[in-house]
Structure 1
Amino acid sequence: MTGSTASYPVVLRFEGMSPSELRRYEAHMLRTGGDLSHVDGD
Structure 2
Amino acid sequence: MSRYRGPRVRIIRRLGTLPGLTNKTPQLKSSSINQSTSNK
- How high is the TM-score relative to the length of structure 2? 0.37
Larger Rg: 1
**Structure whose residues are more often helix by fraction:** 2
- How high is the TM-score relative to the length of structure 1? 0.35
